[in-house]
Structure 1
C-alpha cells in the first residue's frame, strides 16, 4: 500500500486541509475558519447555508475542503456517507495533484476522520497490472493522509492502514488473470504475504490432496493441465484470546470455464478470474489480523484449482466420493465451487473450531436475489453469531441477508444413485448450494457467505472501484475483533 496514514499534532501552514463539520453547520467553527479572509469565510458559510455537503476553497498553492456529516438517525448510514465523502474527496485531490492532506475532525463522531480516510484510501487503489507504455502509467500523486490531533490516534491510524492493506491484497489477487495466478501461484502469494506479516502457510500438493481423498477438489482439477493446491494459513499469536480457533474457508477457483458444462462467452465466462474471491478474502483477512497483531487464533483454508473441460475432465453423471465419505452425483460441472468447499469444510473439523465461516462467489442465484449490494448468508451457527455478523456487515457496509436452510430444501439435492447431487432446482439456487455445504459442515457451528454479487464489479462503484473489491475482509475483521471481549 503506497498511501501512508499518519498522526500529527498540527497541520503546517500552507497545507491542504480537510475540516469535517457537524451536520447542520451554518457558520464555521474557529478551528476551521483559521486565518481565512472575510470573503473566503463568507463564501464557505453561504455554501453551508445552502446545505452543501462538500465545499472546496482554492488558495492556488493549497486547498481547504469542508465536509459536512450526513444528518441521519442511523449511525451506520452516517458512516457510509462519510466513506463516500472520502471517495468524493479523492476526486478533488487527484484533480489538484495533492501529495499530502491533513484531516481535522470537528464533530462529536470520534471516528469521522477515520471513516473519511477509509473511503479515500480504498478509492486510491489502482491495480498495477501489466502495462508497459509509460504514457498509460499514471502514478497517484497522493502519498500521505495525516490525522491532526484528536482526529485519530496513532494506534487507530495504524490499525486502519492494516485493514486497508488486507483489502488491497485481496483485490490484487482477484484482479490477477489466470496466466499470472494459477493455483500454485495463488498459494505462493498467500505464503509470501504470511511471511511478511506473521502467519504461517502449509501448502498441500496434489499427492497430499489425493492421500486425503479430497474427491471434490480432485474431480474439479481433472480437466486442468496444472495441479491443485490446498493452502492452510494459520495465525496463532501468543496470548490469543480464543481457546478454539476460528476457521475461514475460501473458494479458490482461479478460473472457471464451467468445465464440460461450459459457460457462454462473451458474458458469464469473461470475468471468471474472480472466482477465487472467497480465497482472496480469507488471505486478506489473515493479512490484516496479523499485520495489526490482533490476539485471535484464526486458520484459513483455501482449496484452489481452475475448472476446465480438458483431458479427463469430470462429467455430468459422475459420482464422487468426498473427503467426508459422502457420495455426490455430479449434475453440472459448473457447480464446482461447492465441491472444493465441501472437502475443506470436512477437513476443518480436525481443528475443533469455535466457528467456521466460508466465503465463495458461489451462485448466480445470490446475485439475482441481492445484486451487488449484499451477500447471502446462511448457516447453523446460533442466532447471536448470525446477528453479530449481520451487525458487522452494516457497520462496514458489506451487508448480509440471512436466508433459511429449512429441511424442505434438502429435497432439492436428492439423488437416485448417491447421497446428494451437486445441483438443486432452478429456484432458490443459493439456498440449495447452502444445503449442499451443510452436509459437510458437521461437528461445529458454521456460516456460509455467498459473495458472488459484490466481490467483483464490472463498472466503477464509489470507493469499491471496478474489478475486485476485497469484499469480506473488512466484514470478517470487524466481526472477529468484536468477538475478543466475548
Structure 2
C-alpha cells in the first residue's frame, strides 16, 4: 500500500524532521543551533554517513553527497540514506519530513525521497488493527520542477500497485481475479484493456497457454492493455509482455517443498504486475508513447488432465514443442504472447518474467539478466537506465550453439535444455517466437525477497517498474 506523498516545498514547512543534503561539511553550520552541535555533527561524519541530531522529538539528519563515487552510485547512496531515515522514524503514526538540498542538481533530493518512499511500503490487507505511518515529504531544491515531483508521486504509487499484486495470495488472485484487478487499474490510470476468456483464447489458437492451464480448475485469461495518446512520438508501438502465472506448483514436475520454494510461488506473476504498473505510470504521466501490454494468465497445477513430460503441444506460432519439464511453463505462455505481438508491427518488444532459477543463481538479488536482439544503441540505453535506477542489468548471449541444447527429436523444439545455461536456453526458446527487435528480462531472484534488502522491504520488490518506465521515457529523447 502506498502511504507517501511528495510535495515541492515553496514556503516554510512545519515539519518535525529534516533531512539535510550537503556537499561540504561547512554547509552544516546554517542548520545547527550552536557551535557545539555543529562540531558534534562534523565529528560524527568521521565514522558515519548519516548523522542524526535530535532535539526532543524532532530530528535533523545530515548526509553528504559522495562525490568520489560515480553518479549512478551517488544516487543509490542517497536512496539508501532515505531508507535509513525511515528505519529511524517508522514507529511514528504520521511523518512530515522536509528534505533540503542546496546543490545545483535536483536528482539527490529526489533520490532520498524515492528511497524513503520505497522503504515505507507495506502490505497489510490481511492484518487486523495494523496502522502504518502516513508520510509527507516536502522537497526543497531551487532547481526542482513541480512536474517532476508529480511524476515521482505517480511512479512510487505505480510501484506500490505492482507490489500489492505480487503480494496477494493465490487464494485471492486467480487468473480471472488478476484480470479484474487490471480492469480496476485501467480505470484508475486511463489506459484501455481487453480481457479474453477461455473461449476467446481457444479461438485465437493460444495452444501453449491452454496446455499449461490443463491441470488447473481455474480458467486462463489473456489481457491486452493499451495506452495510445493523441500525439505519440512512435508510429510503431512498444509492446510489453509479462508472465502471469498466478501460482506455480511446477505441474507434474512438482517443486520441492523442503526448499520453501512453493511459499513464494504466488510471485510468479511479477512480470505481469510489472508491465501493468509501467503502463499505468506512463498513462497517468501522459508520456507521448504508444504502449501495448500483453499478459497471459493461468496457474500451473498437476491436475488430472495436466500436461506431462514427453507430451507434444502446439503453439500460437504453429511450432510444436516437446515438454521436457512441466515446471518450464512460463516460457510456454510467453511464447504464445510473443507470437501474437507480431500483429502490432512493434518498434520493440520487451518481455519480463520470473523465468529461471538459473538467473537467480547467477546474479542473486543484485541484478537482472537480460538478452535479446535489439539494436546496440537500444541496449546501451537500457543498461544505462539500469544503472541510474540501480536495477542493474547484465546481458547474456544468445549464441546459435544454444539451439542444440533445446533440440527435440519428435517436435520442433524442446521447452528445456538441461542443467547448463538455463537462463540462456529459456531465452533461446523464446527467441524462436520473435521476428522483431526484442529484449527478454529474467527477474527471478530480484522480484521477491525473503528478507529486506537495503531500502527494499521483504517480499515483493517491484523490480522492473522503475527500470522500464525510465527506459521508455529515455526513448523520447
Give the TM-score range, shorter chain. over 0.9
Larger mean Cα displacement after TM superposition, 266-275 or 180-189: 266-275
Mapping of residues 8-23 of structure 1, within 5 Å: 8-12=9-13, 15-22=16-23
Deviation, 1:182, is: 0.5
Residue 66 of structure 2 corresponds to residue 70 of structure 1: yes
In the superposition, the TM-score normalised over structure 1's length comes to 0.95
Q: Deviations over 1:30-54 (max 9, x none)?
A: 6434xx1333223223324x25321
2:181 alignment counterpart: 189
- Secondary structure of the residue aligned to 2:90 is helix
Cα 1:37/1:30, change in 2 over 3 Å: closer
- Secondary structure of the residue aligned to 1:249 is strand
Contact 1:53 1:69 in 2 (8 A): no
Residue 236 of structure 2 corresponds to residue 240 of structure 1: no
Question: How far apart, CA to CA, are the structure 2 residues paired with 1:448 and 1:152?
Answer: 35
**How many residues are matched?**
475
Contact 2:247 2:266 in 1 (8 A): yes
- Secondary structure of the residue aligned to 2:299 is strand
- Secondary structure of the residue aligned to 1:350 is helix
Question: How far apart, CA to CA, are the structure 1 residues paired with 2:86 and 2:217?
Answer: 44
Q: Deviations over 1:230-286 (max 9, x none)?
A: 000101111111111000000000000000111110322221001001111111111
- Secondary structure of the residue aligned to 2:229 is coil
Contact 1:405 1:434 in 2 (8 A): yes
Match of 2:204 among 186, 208, 212: 212
Contact 2:109 2:140 in 1 (8 A): no
2:410 alignment counterpart: 417
Question: How far apart, CA to CA, are the structure 1 residues paired with 2:281 and 2:238?
Answer: 15
Cα 1:92/1:82, change in 2 over 3 Å: same
Structure 2 alignment gaps of length 5 or more: none
1:123 alignment counterpart: 119
Contact 2:386 2:392 in 1 (8 A): yes
Cα 1:109/1:14, change in 2 over 3 Å: closer
1:46 alignment counterpart: 43
- Secondary structure of the residue aligned to 2:458 is strand
- Secondary structure of the residue aligned to 1:11 is coil
Question: How far apart, CA to CA, are the structure 1 residues paired with 2:405 and 2:343?
Answer: 29
Contact 1:105 1:151 in 2 (8 A): no
1:362 alignment counterpart: 355
Question: How far apart, CA to CA, are the structure 1 residues paired with 2:254 and 2:16?
Answer: 56
Match of 2:420 among 380, 405, 427: 427
1:27 alignment counterpart: 26
Residue 381 of structure 2 corresponds to residue 388 of structure 1: yes
Residue 432 of structure 2 corresponds to residue 439 of structure 1: yes
Contact 2:268 2:354 in 1 (8 A): yes
Mapping of residues 397-476 of structure 1, within 5 Å: 397-442=390-435, 444-476=436-468
Question: How far apart, CA to CA, are the structure 1 residues paired with 2:410 and 2:146?
Answer: 61
Cα 1:14/1:440, change in 2 over 3 Å: closer
Cα 1:31/1:286, change in 2 over 3 Å: farther
Q: Deviations over 1:364-392 (max 9, x none)?
A: 11111111111111101111111111111
1:265 alignment counterpart: 257
Contact 1:199 1:233 in 2 (8 A): yes
Structure 1 alignment gaps of length 5 or more: none
- Secondary structure of the residue aligned to 2:99 is strand
Question: How far apart, CA to CA, are the structure 1 residues paired with 2:261 and 2:50?
Answer: 39
